[in-house]
Amino acid sequence: MGQTASQIAAPSAAPVATKQLVRADIGRERAAYTVEAQIDVSVAAREQILPLVHLTKTTLVSSTVEGAGAADARVDTAGTAVRLIVPPKGGRFRVTLYFSTALVRAAAPYVARLPVLRSAENALHCAFHGYEQAPAVEADPPLVQRKWDASTLCTTFPPTDAVTLQWAPTREAEATVHAPRAATSITTFVGVESVWSAAQQAFVPSAVLDVSADVTVEAPYVVALTKLGVLDVVVDAKDQPLHWDWLEVESDARMLTLACDAPRAPAEPVVGSRHLRLHVDVARACGEFGAAPAAPLQFTVKGRCHLALDPAQDARSVLLPVVRATAESQARQQLVYPAASHGGFQLELTAPLLPGTTSHPVGDGCILTLDDHDECIVAFTRDPARVPRAPAPQAPLVLTTLHHEVWPCAAHAMHHIALDAFGAAGTAEQTVLLFPAAALDTIGGLTAYVNGHAVRVHLEAQGASGADADAGVPVLAAASLAVPAAAVRGAHAQIALYYTTPWAPSTRLAVACPAPPAALPRTVLRVHGRGAQVPRLLGETDAHIVHGTDAVITTFPQRRRAPYTLEFALHTPRTDVRLWLALALLAACTAWWMATTSAAVHRHATQVEALAMALDIDLSDGHWAGQHGWEHALSAGHYALKDVAAAAHRLAEHLPWAAARPAA
């Protein structure tokens, strides 16, 4: 009081308290808490200012200072900073601060942020009011040594500037993800294809729907503390017996769902509406400790289904399936595209709930967008001018997985394709792979085996006619084969195809990947290296990629209906320079040690011979030649000196770089 700014020391960033106790009383809407801190202040030349806490949405109600010299100490505020002003003589002070704050999130899970002093020792006593049992509590930073006394949590926490508490009532059931609104954009490709019917043992015309629904869940939340929440998604088939060929969920949040297909096992029929339970990362999708979520909760539901059309009827109406996520309100947009071929049927889209509109023709390239409608109906009317191709009277091969391996060689690339399939034997040929039209001139040595039995395989152009040609469908090369009865074990068939394609050795390798005639749950492409070169995929893809000695690209699922090309770079990995330096240093040390050792041995041998000459000792015949009186005293060392000299000479002869050195 009365001091100028130059007389007051600048705030310090170092911890000011040696220990503190935080007592909090938390209700449903607000939280009141008290901070009791012990602060030791050393003697200074002038009055000191110590920063205590920084307030955001917290209100300092009152404060007290106790201790020697407390009459001259006071708590002051400057903007959002709460400071302690102490006299120059310092001392030990007991500071009590009373705060009140509103909850950051006033719905479960509740969130409260409590600014505190930075102290070496920190204790927290938090009482929750209005709860029948102790709630589940999380904190940032994490709490240490928790102990509950009725509805009061007693714990400690590490040094920090603020403690953020997050709590919710304890629940035993799974936490459900709720949302006020969900927006869905559904794109449906509609067409007619001949689909094999197991009940009729024949191909029947069927309405085929490729559905892709982009779902955005706005402001999701859970009412419990959990790592994973459950989001219910319904694929509504409108009480129709839609047969799903496959159905999946794609999302960056890595949500899980039950797969419809299983490799190497017959897929059970999936008919009608589907209920999907998605496991959501709550921290990422809903946020935690009052913070906004890291990314919006978005995912895509994709699938392909078909519904048989009665040949005896000239018209059939099909309700388009819709996708709904659990939310208080739904917003839906419907986009309908015609397929390239209608297979002898004319399509007409009807929207009964659209005011003033009864139907819309769905021609090639026509797009219709509907907003906020419950139903969207497509009418299939038989068109005598369009006659579908007569299918083969045989059960089709149902492919499940495709494994493609490529080996680059000196003048060509070798390919091996392994297919797992289910189907009955027959004499009619069936298409197993689709190649680009250029494959007719580039593929060589095409051979095929079914369960180890060699079969004839034909590669011929599959042209487009009628609506396909009008839509610009490219000409493909179809690889067809017949499955002999002797090669089938039960209903399972393993098909292997081998062929080569031209390739000049270089640093680039383009791999033409054939496409299956229908969707697959999984395809694997493995590209091997050549010599010291290892492959690496160029460009971006949504598949799972593993780079090593080989490049493995796995796609879940495979929905491409046309061949595609992937380009790889062949490069030689660089050996770590540090390894070469270490080897060079080791070799230099070894050479120096061997040279030094051999020189010492050579010098020792020369000294032994000089000693023998000085003592008039003949080491060649094992007898003394001297006439001195002490030769009998040295007779005990005669054989030892002789053995040492012989060993030294032999070692010097085996080390030529040491033997060439001049005698010492």
DSSP assignment of 389-426: PPPPSSPPPEEEEEEEEEEE-SSEEEEEEEEEEE----
Task: Please say if the pLDDT value at position 278 is more than 90.
Answer: no
pLDDT at position 471 is 47
Torsion of CA 439, 442, 445, 450, to 10 degrees: -20
CA pair distance 569, 256, nearest whole angstrom: 34
Structure tokens at 83: 């400071």
Beta bridge partners of residue 17, listed in sequence order: 119
Least confident of 89-93, 395-399, 494-498: 395-399
* 480 has pLDDT over 70: yes
Rounded CA-CA distance 473/466 in Å is 10
Place of tokens 């007409």: 348
Amino acid at 238: K
Q: What percent of the chain has pLDDT over 90?
A: 8
The structure's pTM equals 0.51
Q: How confident is the model at residue 125 (pLDDT cuts 50, 70, 90)?
A: very high
Q: Are both 181-382 and 398-571 of the same fold?
A: yes
| Half-sphere CA count of 279, side-chain side, radius 13 A | 8
In the predicted model, is pLDDT for residue 14 greater than 50?
A: yes
- Tens-place pLDDT, residues 604-645: 777 767 776 766 666 555 544 444 444 444 444 455 555 555
Determine the topology of domain 398-571 in CATH. Answer: Immunoglobulin-like (2.60.40)
More confident residue, 508 or 201: 508
Q: What pLDDT does 382 receive?
A: 67
- Please give the backbone phi and psi of residue 396, each rounded to the nearest 5 degrees, phi first: -80, 160
For residue 619, give both structure tokens.
């080491």
Q: Where are the alpha helices (DSSP H) in 554-576?
A: none
- Tell me what pLDDT residue 154 has: 93
Superfamily (CATH H level) for 5-168: tricorn interacting facor f3 domain (2.60.40.1730)
The rounded distance, in Å, linking the Cα atoms of 381 and 638 is 120
Q: Which amino acid is at 196?
A: W
> In this predicted model, which residue has the larger pLDDT, 265 or 346?
346
Q: Give residue limits of the domains in the chain.
A: 5-168, 181-382, 398-571, 587-659
* pLDDT in the model for residue 561: 60
Using only the alpha carbons of the chain, give its radius of gyration. Answer: 42
What class is the 181-382 domain? Answer: mainly beta
As a whole-number percent, the residues of the chain with pLDDT over 70 amount to: 71
φ and ψ at 586, to 5 degrees?
A: -65, -40
In this prediction, residue 417 has a pLDDT band, given cuts at 50, 70 and 90, of very high
- Indicate the range of 90-94, 442-446, 483-487 predicted with least confidence: 483-487
Residue closest to 308 by CA, chosen among 300, 296, 316, 299: 316
103-107, 299-303, 496-500, 565-569: the lowest-pLDDT one: 103-107
- The tens digit of pLDDT for each residue in 566-581 reads 888 888 876 555 667 7
Q: How confident is the model at residue 23 (pLDDT cuts 50, 70, 90)?
A: very high
